Amino acid sequence: MSQMLSSTSNSTSIDNSPPLGNAQARQGGVLQRIDGWFRAPLSAQQIVLRLSMYLVLAANWPLWLQLVRIGGAPSIYMRSVLEMALLVFCGMLAIFAFTAWTRGMKLLWWLVVLVAALAQYYMLTYSVVMDPGMAANVLQTDAREVADLLGLRLLLSVLAVLALPTWWLLRVRIPPMRPLRQLWRNLLVLVLALGVAAGTVVATSRDLAPLMRNHPQLRYLMNPLASLYSTSVSLVGPVFARSGTLVSMTEGAVLGASYASAAKPLLLVLVVGETARADHFGINGYGRDTTPELAKRGVLSWRDVRSCGTSTLASLPCMFSPLGRDKFESRDNEYENLLDVAQAAGLAVLWLDNQSGCKGVCDRVPHATAVDGLSADARKRLCDGGECRDEAMLQGLDARLAAMPEAQRKRGVLLVLHQMGSHGPAYYKRSDASTKRFLPECRTEVLSDCAHGELVNAYDNSIAATDAFLGEPLDWSRRQSAHYGTGMLYLSDHGESLGEYGLFLHGMPYGVAPEAQKHVPMVGWFDDALLRRDHLSAACLRAGTNAALTHDNLYHSMLGLLDVQSPSYQRTLDAFDACRGAASASK
């Protein structure tokens, strides 16, 4: 019996092994055939042709989805999709034609695919477009901001686009070819790509011309064409667009008559906010009480203020410039700014930064970061993971004031605090437990994954944190009133989209950006000594808080408050001039 069982068992084992072996062999054969296809030798021109096709299909979903939303019926938007796909393909092929060489190009091709994968992720996740302004923002992003954008979803999304071409580029063989032969083949590819693109534009202009005119953002969704173009413009454009000459604005800058007669010097604190929306400030009529600290301090709040741009890089230099938005964007040179003029007139100036830098605004005046000079205990309490809360800028402020040059300090002080504020997408990181009054809040950087209410909660908590922060420099200014005529002005650099119209964050081209990215809060407080010195009527200021203002007003309004006379000062752009007495006529 045992022999029979043993025989049966052995027979069963022997009978089952061939099918298993065949299955393994078949599987191995499929993998070998796939690998063989990947390893098949291709010319560099064939590779860039296939890469261009792949990028059109795999990395342009933001463009296709936008065309679907715009197009209405499938018969309309599918035609637009096909026409745009052909243009993107020809554009990529024309660019790749310059790289279709047999040696040393694989890494470059891979990097282009990586850029396309990253750009697609951010366009899909935050509904941004890759225009030159956004490219410049990316180039100036620091490690703290990058950390907020990283996550598992980013990794998976990038791998979904990058995995296949990575494997292919590692395996594919490129036969050597004589340089002259490569050159004429590359030229042929370039001419064919440009020719087909030109023919497509001519044949489809009746469809594409009005589409691109009515929806200019589409040109910045062509991936990775838009990213490559915008990055090139951001890097190379300033070199050719501007001479590099710094135009002086300090000539003729002097202190006004009030400095001869005033009993106390001036101390003016200017807080530059980050990513704050005016319509989410409780003191501006928002349905939530996001600004209780400002409300109880009786501040002035101007409710109709627009920014220079929709990003820090665009707005920050513009708001400190004497040029105004239109002239600033078309300038051929760089110009000295408000801080330069105030310092040249004889005032002490200090810029404190809790952001990714001052974008050149503070380069010629004393400046420091929030973490500079912090004690170990203060760093442990206020800074986490390389990022400090805005309150860190207030640590040791008395000592910073005392350390300013005495001669300038006795005339007056301009102190600028540059906030982290409500910088996204990690809004939940911009508030601590004491200011998290609106729950539950969105606790991910992938904002589209959150319910809209949770996203608004996280953002409103960041506004509440800004409110709590602003109360501290205001109170500090009040405490300095025994020795100075003091005041504080707060103005945000730009606003933020919170999912309205499918948009998140900021940085949209100004002409098509929604109001949420341009409508910013402006808050002020001035003590009696400053008001008397500047002949300002508090009642008049309060009555004028509904006036329409822009960042263009900041430069001239600050010179007016500081009583700095300058040829660059324009009375018509001084937001406070209408509330001055006759004595201001000397300015």
Task: Tell me the residue ranges of DSSP E strands in 250-408.
Answer: 254-255, 266-273, 300-306, 334-335, 348-353, 367-369, 383-384, 387-388
Are 51 and 88 in contact by the 8 Å Cβ rule? The answer is: no
Average pLDDT, rounded, for the chain:
87
How high is the pLDDT of residue 15?
A: 47
Tokens of 303: 């409710």
The domain spans of the chain are 38-236, 266-425+477-501+519-581
Q: Residue 240 — pLDDT band, cuts 50, 70, 90?
A: low
Q: Residue 583 — pLDDT band, cuts 50, 70, 90?
A: very low
Instruction: Please state the rounded mean pLDDT for residues 242-257.
Output: 86
* Homologous superfamily (CATH) for 266-425+477-501+519-581: Alkaline Phosphatase, subunit A (3.40.720.10)
Instruction: Please state the rounded mean pLDDT for residues 191-213.
Output: 82
Which of 121, 127, 146, 144 has the alpha carbon at shortest distance from 58?
121
Residue 88 zone, left/alpha/beta (φ > 0; ψ -120 to 50; rest): alpha
Hey, how many other C-beta atoms are within 10 angstroms of the C-beta on 195?
Answer: 12
Tokens of 503: 């948009």
Q: Quickly list DSSP for 467-482.
A: HHHHHHHHHHHHHGGG
Share of the chain above pLDDT 70, in %: 88
Instruction: Please state the rounded mean pLDDT for residues 185-212.
Output: 85
pLDDT 10s digits, 464-486: 999 999 999 999 999 999 999 99
Tokens of 164: 């296949």
How far is it, in rounded angstroms, from Cα 500 to Cα 498? 6
Tokens of 565: 């006379």
How far is it, in rounded angstroms, from Cα 43 to Cα 87? 23
Instruction: Please state the rounded mean pLDDT for residues 526-534.
Output: 94
How high is the pLDDT of residue 7?
A: 41
How high is the pLDDT of residue 19?
A: 54
Tokens of 131: 């225009």
Which of 517, 511, 515 has the alpha carbon at shortest distance from 215?
511
Which residues, including other chains, have CB under 8 Å from residue 478's CB and lie 6 or more apart? 486, 527
Instruction: Please state the rounded mean pLDDT for residues 566-575.
Output: 97
Element (H, E) at 464: helix 452-479
- DSSP code of 499? S
How far is it, in rounded angstroms, from Cα 76 to Cα 68? 9
**Which amino acid does the sequence have at 225?**
L
* Site of tokens 């062509």: 222
Which residues, including other chains, have CB under 8 Å from residue 374's CB and lie 6 or more apart? 382, 383, 388, 392, 395, 396
pLDDT 10s digits, 38-74: 778 899 999 999 999 999 999 999 999 888 888 666 7
Share of the chain above pLDDT 90, in %: 61
Q: Looking at the predicted structure, is the pLDDT value of residue 268 above 70?
A: yes
pLDDT 10s digits, 113-171: 999 999 999 888 887 888 777 777 676 666 666 666 777 888 999 999 999 999 999 98
How high is the pLDDT of residue 242?
A: 53
* Site of tokens 């409103």: 460
The model's pTM is: 0.75
Are 316 and 561 in contact by the 8 Å Cβ rule? The answer is: no
How far is it, in rounded angstroms, from Cα 62 to Cα 221? 7
How far is it, in rounded angstroms, from Cα 295 to Cα 59? 48
How high is the pLDDT of residue 489?
A: 98
Instruction: Please state the rounded mean pLDDT for residues 261-289.
Output: 96
How far is it, in rounded angstroms, from Cα 494 to Cα 309? 7
pLDDT 10s digits, 69-96: 886 667 677 888 898 999 999 999 999 9
Are 134 and 230 in contact by the 8 Å Cβ rule? The answer is: yes
